[in-house]
Chain A
Amino acid sequence: MKVGVLGLQGDVSEHLEALEKLGAKGAWVKDLASLAEAEALIIPGGESTTIGRLLEESWLFEMVQQRAKGGMPIFGTCAGLILLAKEAGEQARQTGQRLLGLMDMEVDRNAFGRQRESFEQPIEINGLGQFPGVFIRAPAIRKVFGKCEALAQLDGRIIAARQGKLLATAFHPELTGDLRLHRYFLEQVY
């Protein structure tokens, strides 16, 4: 199977390395042709406003939505989580940010503060157990509704969720060397 990593901006190579370690075929996606070849997609960490803008400019925005509706599995980390959400609160309104709107969840950008407040903290993920949480100017899921299901919480905030073939985390498994979430995406979600 060929797993694309949306390579418009952000920590793309870290996800590609994780895929390689799992023996999966990773590919850099930055245009329609490379998206067409991908069977699943990872949206990496980065700046969600920048990635969103580049998605629109490279005509990928609608195509990612279409593929997701056709059943393509997507895994979003941090900025990827924001882009997958239906709603992203005040900060998204302020910047006029367009979201892919694929998961039934409302998120807060920079929910834990600025970089000074970025933190590492072991977390508990349903079905996976303890996992090293790396939160960098991280968002949080304010609430899930419809078919979206919370997978992990921290101090009353949801930090990971799944909806069918869509998976999202507020933290960065790709920075930890722990491959269990990527494996979960490849084996369970896929």
Chain B
Amino acid sequence: MEVGTSRLKEGFAKMQKGGVIMDVVTPEEAKIAEKAGAVAVMALHAVPADIRKAGGVARMADPAIIEKITKAVTIPVMAKCRIGHIAEAQVLQSIGVDMVDESEVLTPADDAHIDKSKFTIPFVCGARNLGEALRRINEGAAMIRTKGEPGTGDVVEAVRHMRTMNTQLAELAKAKGNRVFLKKKAEEFKVPLELVEKTAGMGRLPVVNFAAGGIATPADAALMMQLGSDGIFVGSGIFKSSSPEKYAKAIVEATRHYDQPDVVLKVSKGLGEAMKGIDTKALLPEQKMQERSR
């Protein structure tokens, strides 16, 4: 019997496809998310919007809260550790969390990322472009998500990251078989040539790729799915809205029926206030969480 193989880790991520993963801070919120049709919950001590507001050092959530959330729901539970914080990731694995998000939402603990291949449980990491994505995959990430700009409710950065990735993937796919070009790309991305060749051959990221960071409405989710996301992470968008149950259900349906405007229209009606949000252009570079890793 084998555990922790890449097939099991990447397979777990594949089971999340077409789904919505929701940030929750209490067992009650986790139950609301499960009931609304979330494929998994991300257990946190505060949603990104509140982390942004509070300032200071953001760390892994209290293990007691994470444990309570794992007991409250039957769907997978994920949790965030700081970039490079091997010990936090080990604690999360010991709790029995199903996937770790090595996340720029928390304050980084190291300039280098975790060697994720050493863990039994799978990891998801953020990326703004193909180079970042392939470096994380090379470190053992089983899933990639856009970084976007967390806690803002402004979708523009997630769109930018997904479009950048798509353009770079198309460029690689076109150069399939062009060893000289792919070798140059491998050097530029600082990853092995085999990984670049594999990606060029597939014409997509070799692991599941979700959208995250600033998705606040059903239409935002539909937009990201139309850009080719495999699924959606919603952070502050649900529990910072005026009616979380309705928002959660509406985003799940819009994610599934992203290519049917009449469904997105139907579920978008009468939802109440979306989270207020912050225009990302109003942020100083040092306030941007996406700048925290490369």
A contact set with B: CB distance below 8 Å:
7-14, 30, 45-47, 49-50, 53-54, 57-58, 78-79, 91, 94-96, 109-110, 113-121, 134, 136-137, 172, 175-176
Q: Which of A10, A11, A14, A49 contacts B75, CB < 8 Å?
A: A49
A134 CA to B121 CA, complexed, in Å: 15
Given contacts A114-B98, A115-B98, contact A50 B252 (CB under 8 A): yes
- Give the residues in chain A near B8, CB-CB below 8 Å: 115, 118-120, 134, 136
B12 touches A11 (CB 8 A): no
B19 partner, pick from A13, A47, A172, A176, beta carbons under 8 A: A47
Residue B200 interfacial (CB < 8 Å): no
A120 touching B1 by the CB < 8 A rule?
yes
Are the CB atoms of A120 and B38 closer together than 8 Å?
no
CA distance A7 to B12 in the complex (A): 17
Residues of A within 8 A of B39 (CB): 9, 46-47, 50
- State whether A95 touches B34 (Cβ < 8 A): yes
Query: Which residues of B have CB within 8 Å of A11?
Result: 11, 14-15, 17
Q: Are A53 and B37 in contact (CB under 8 A)?
A: yes
Does B211 make an interface contact (CB < 8 A)? no
Q: What's the Cα separation between A190 and B122 when bound, in Å?
A: 36
Chain A: minimal CB distance from B77 (Å): 8
On whether the beta carbons of B3 and A117 are closer than 8 Å, the reply is yes
A95 to B34, CA, bound (A): 8
A30 CA to B263 CA in the complex, in Å? 13
Question: Which residue of B3, B35, B96, B122 is within 8 Å of A119 (Cβ)?
Answer: B3
Verify B2–A119 contact, CB threshold 8 A.
yes
Question: What distance in Å separates the Cβ of A88 from its nearest Cβ neighbour in chain B?
Answer: 10
**30 interchain pairs, CB-CB under 8 A:** A8-B256, A9-B18, A10-B15, A10-B17, A10-B18, A11-B14, A30-B257, A46-B17, A46-B19, A47-B19, A49-B75, A53-B36, A54-B37, A95-B34, A114-B76, A114-B98, A115-B99, A115-B121, A116-B3, A116-B121, A118-B8, A119-B3, A119-B8, A121-B2, A134-B8, A134-B11, A137-B76, A172-B11, A175-B11, A176-B7
B74 within 8 Å of A by Cβ? yes
Q: How far apart are the CA atoms of A74 and B120 in the complex, in Å?
A: 33
> Which one of A46, A109, A176 has the greatest number of beta carbons of chain B within 10 Å?
A46
B5 interface residue per 8 A CB criterion: yes
Q: A114-B96, A120-B1 are in contact. List 17 more A-B contacts (CB 8 A).
A: A10-B14, A14-B14, A45-B15, A47-B16, A47-B75, A49-B34, A54-B37, A54-B256, A91-B74, A94-B74, A114-B97, A115-B76, A115-B121, A116-B96, A118-B12, A120-B3, A137-B12
Question: B120 touching A47 by the CB < 8 A rule?
Answer: no
Q: Taking A12-B17, A46-B17, A47-B19 as contacts, is the C-beta distance between A115 and B74 under 8 angstroms?
A: no
Residue interface bits B234-255, CB-to-A below 8 A is 1, else 0:
0000000000000000001100
- Is B130 close to A, CB under 8 A? no
A79 partner residues in chain B, CB cutoff 8 A: 15
Known: A115-B76, A118-B8. A50 touches B120 (CB 8 A): no
CB B32 to nearest CB in A, in angstroms, measures 12
A120 touches B74 (CB 8 A): no
Asked whether, in the complex, the Cβ of A136 is within 8 Å of the Cβ of B12, the reply is: yes
Q: Are A12 and B3 in contact (CB under 8 A)?
A: no
Q: Which residues of A contact B120 (CB under 8 A)?
A: 116
Q: Do A47 and B98 touch (CB < 8 A)?
A: no
B40 contacts chain A at the CB level, 8 A cutoff:
yes
* Bound: A103/B97 CA distance, A: 32
Q: Does B18 lie within 8 Å of A7, measured CB to CB?
A: yes
Of B1, B15, B35, the most chain A CB neighbours within 10 A belong to B15
Does B138 interact with chain A (Cβ within 8 Å)?
A: no
Q: B93 an interface residue at 8 Å Cβ cutoff?
A: yes
State the Cβ distance, A93 to closest chain B Cβ, in Å: 10
Whether the pair A49, B74 counts as a contact (CB closer than 8 A) is yes
By a CB distance below 8 angstroms, the chain B residues around A8 are 18, 256
Is B14 a contact partner of A175 (Cβ separation < 8 A)?
yes
